[in-house]
Amino acid sequence: MFTSPAHGIARGRALNSALSYVRCQMDGMNSESAECICDRTRQKILCRSCGQTFTGRVRRRCSSHPNEIHLMDFEMCPYCKAPCTQLKEFGDLKKN
């Protein structure tokens, strides 16, 4: 079966994306505490790769609800597509 270099690059990107997702999920796990993090507030997020800031939550895995997925959580930068390991959350947003 013939595979072009483009197929190899696409497979490499898919693998990197999958590994990044697993690393982000592992970062969100805290074995010492079984506290639910599902109802976290939105925060300011900085991408350490491109420098863009945006509002939301970085995707983390809840130890109480490991199969729960919040669709509006970010697993990558919406601007440069950097993995969530490059995203840094800063304090809660003040509600007016």
CATH code for the domain in which residue 70 is found = 2.20.28.10
- First vs last C-alpha separation in the chain: 60
Q: Which two tokens stand for residue 29?
A: 């796990």
As for how many domains the chain has, the answer is 1
Query: Residue 77: what pLDDT?
Result: 96
State the Cα–Cα distance between residues 94 and 81, nearest whole angstrom: 27
Tell me the backbone φ, ψ of residue 91, rounded to 5 degrees: 25, 160
Per-residue model confidence as pLDDT tens digits over 83-95? 999 999 998 656 5
| b (16+ CB within 10 A) / e for 45-56 | bbbebeeeeeeb
pLDDT at 7 over 80: no
Mean pLDDT of 51-70: 92
Query: Residue 91: what pLDDT?
Result: 80
Residues spanned by the domain of 57: 5-92
Per-residue model confidence as pLDDT tens digits over 10-41? 666 666 665 565 556 555 554 445 689 999 99
Indicate the pTM of the whole model: 0.61
